[in-house]
Structure formats: structure tokens, C-alpha cells
Amino acid sequence: MKFFYSLFILGSLMFASSPGKEQTHIQFEQYQLPNGLTVILHEDRSAPVAAVVVMYHVGSKNEKPKRTGFAHLFEHMMFQGSEHVADDEHFKLLQEVGANINGTTNEDRTNYFEIVPSNYLELALYLESDRMGFLLPAITQEKLNNQIDVVKNERRQSYDNQPYGTSSEKISAAMFPPMHPYHWPVIGYMEDLSEAQLGDVSEFFKTYYAPNNACVAIAGNFETKQTKQWIDKYFGDIPRGKSFERPSPIPVSFNEDKRMMFEDKVKLPRLYIDWVSAPMNTREDAVLDVLSDILGSGKTSRMYKSLVYEKQIAQTAVAYQSGMEIGGQFEIQITAKPEKTLVEMETAFDNVLDNLFKNGVTQKEIDNALSQKETQFINSLSTVFGKANQLATYFTYTGEPNRINKELERYHNITPEEVMLVAKKYLTAPKIVLSIVPEGKTDLAAKNSMMWKGN
């Protein structure tokens, strides 16, 4: 097998004492097969295990309106057997050797992974290659219908019958216009899942689950020369897929706040406030990440101290920056205490925000947030699966797995002035305000909230 190129990053694994001063140094090798499959190898001899992550650059944003839920559906279908692996054998073969196995899907990517005893690495690679190259011959309408029913049941359990479970899809539907790739939920809509046909999902697979739209990242205790031979043997003959156009960033804005209310089977009312924000892996994403920690991460955050501890009107008060590939959301979530209204929650949060704009943030708050980010990042690399997944993720989104060694640079030298510039840019724009209230308790909603009318 001839490889297009090979990249070696040498060094030892080490971590900085604070963001930006030093960086992680994770040694890996990257190369590409002629069919476009990218391979990333990281040796770690500390334990007799190996993690295999196969990441496909496809998520719900690659779906079309009325054809939603396909990417997540394949998260299920890929475990149901392929041409040379009988139904349910994929799970059985790996679980018999003590492997940890799963898959996840989000808006932008799908990953499949196994953590196996090192002497079963070849088995993991064979199984992954068989479903990449030979899944379609094994798919039948009966198996598709069965998994559609499984996904529908998952949706009922995790969304429709879960307290506050549909809040995120309501916010996304209000924030992003109907043709925007982030308008619909990752799990899809019930009516679209019901309409999914074998021809539709087969075409989706042929387009997005090809080697030139995937990478294989392996971390752990393995012998590199032998592993390359296995990768060549099992993946080398899989044909590359056709080219396709990736969704591009679409500017999103609205002229005034959108205020909505939804009655749900919940005990306590919850207020959601969302703004359009910066996409992942950008400087503004990092700054908003720090700002979200200052506002609503932990008991020392401004929202928690004001609403939960001092005023004692809220059960929880948190903030998130969610950077995605072609857009982002900055979200506030406040759950009220019994007998408290969301009018009180919004007023109290507005006071926190007014104080922020009036007095700014301190360097100490920023440093505390940066310490949390550093800890989270180091923890994400504490296992061979964590390293394999991060290498695959950085390659998928940026084309540069070496970003794993540069991630902390995004947080370097964030100042109070920069935080305030970004805060004013995003948090003074029109926003989504969603009140989730107990059934029959619409009087608890935030002011001027219109009843939710569907997607």
C-alpha cells in the first residue's frame, strides 16, 4: 500500500500549568489511503488496551427538510450486521472479548468506537471495515423498520416524555429558519422517521459513509507496523464515495425577541434564554465559553450566587456556550423554585446582565474559568479513548488533528476587555425566550410569551 503522506509529531505527553503558557504534546502519526480514508495512530503503552474511533463527517445538518433523523438512524443500523457479519454479531463478538463499544451522533459528525484488549485490535478493525464497505447488502426494509421503531421509542423516552425534553428542538426551530441545517433535532421528527424508505437511507449512506468522508483514529497499546498492515488489508479496497457539497455557514438574525411558552408535564417552570453565537474552534467561541462559566458554571458563578444563594428564588441557574461547525448558541437555563414565576427569573437575570455590562468582569474570574477549561481538557485526554476521539474530532472539523496540541492557545490572553466586547456583540442582540411551565400554569410564564404553535 502506498500512502499519500505521513506526518509525525514527536514529543512527550505533558500539560501546562495554565492555559497558553505551555501546550499538550501528544505524539501521533497521520496518513491517508488512496481511497481517501485518513488514519491517525497514537501509541500509548501504559495499559494493554486500544481504542478505535471511526468518525464520519456526517450529522443531522447533512439531512434535508422532511428527511430528518437519518444520521442518528444509521448510528443504530451500523450495529445491526453487515454483509459478512450476521445480525447482532457486531455487538456479540466484541462484548465476548470484553470490549466497550458504542456510537454517538450530533449535528455535525457521527462516531463509532471500541475500547478493546490490545490482542483484539484486528477484530475491531475488521468489524469497522465491514460495515463501512459492506453495510448496504445487509440492510432490508424489515431491519430498517425495526430500527425506525427503536428510534421512535428512544425519542418518546428521551424527548417527548422527558420533562423539558423538547426544549432544545423548540429553541432550534425558532432560532434557525426552516431550511437551515440546525433547524431540526438530531433524532429527527416522528413524521419524517415514519416516511423513511430504504431507497432514501441507502442513498444517504452511499454519500456520507465512505472512506473519503471518514477517519480512523487508534490510540493505545499496539504495534504500528502490524496495525498499518491490518488497516491496509481491511480498509484499503473499500471504494471512495462520490463528492458532495458540505453545508456552509448561513447568517442568522432576527429583528426582535421571540418569546414562546410551552405547557409540559413538569413540576417547576424553567426559563430558557438563547442567542445566536460563534461557531466552534474560533476565538469568540473560547471567549464566550469563558463568559458562560463566569455567568453560570458552579456555585461561585454570578447567576448561582444571585438567583440561588442570595435571592433564593431559583433551583438551578446555568449558562452554556455551544459552538457547532457552522454556528453556535449561547444559552441561559433557570429553573424556578416552587411558587416562583419566570417573570421573577427573567428580571433577576436581567439584573445580573446589567451588572455585567455596567461593571465588567475581573481577571480573577477569567483565570478561574481558564483553570476549569484546562482541567476539563486534560481530563478529556486521560484515557486512550479520549485521545483517539479528540484526534478524530480535530481532524474532522479542522483537518488538523494536531489542534489537540494547540487547543489551549484559543484561550491565551483573554482579557476583561475582550470578554466585554464579545458579550456586548452577542448578548445585546434579539434573543429566544422560552418558558416551559407546568400544565395549566401559564400564569407562571415570562411576560408576553406566545403559546408554542409547532415547528
Check residue 444 and report its DSSP letter. Answer: G
**What is the chain's mean pLDDT, rounded?**
93
Amino acid identity of 236?
G
Per-residue H/E/C for 17-66 = CCECCECCCCCEEEEECCCCCEEEEEECCCCCEEEEEEEECCCHHHCECC
| pLDDT in the model for residue 454 | 74
Q: 182-226, pLDDT tens digit by residue?
A: 999 999 999 999 999 899 889 999 999 999 999 999 999 999 999
pLDDT for 24: 81
Tell me the C-alpha distance between 121 and 82, whole Å.
19
Question: Is residue 172 predicted with pLDDT exceeding 80?
Answer: yes
Q: 3-class DSSP state for residue 83?
A: coil
**Residue 383 clears pLDDT 50, i.e. is over it:** yes
Residue 11 is predicted with a pLDDT of 33
**From CA 351, how far away is CA 337, in angstroms rounded?**
18
Residues 334-356: pLDDT tens digits?
999 999 999 999 999 999 999 99
Number of Cβ within 10 Å of residue 83's Cβ equals 14
Separation of alpha carbons 91 and 123, rounded Å: 12
Q: How confident is the model over 372-392, as a mean pLDDT? A: 94
Mean pLDDT lowest among 18-27, 115-124, 125-134: 18-27
For residue 22, what pLDDT is reported?
56
Under the banding of pLDDT at 50, 70 and 90, the label for residue 452 is confident
d(CA 149, CA 154): 9
CA 256: distance to chain centroid? Answer: 28
Grid cell digits, residue 213:
468522508
Q: 100-105 and 270-277: which strand pairing? A: unpaired
Phi, psi of 65 (to 5 degrees): -55, 140
The C-alpha cell that represents 94 in the structure block = 466484541
Q: What crossing angle do the helices spanning 283-296 and 363-380 adopt, rounded to 10°?
A: 110
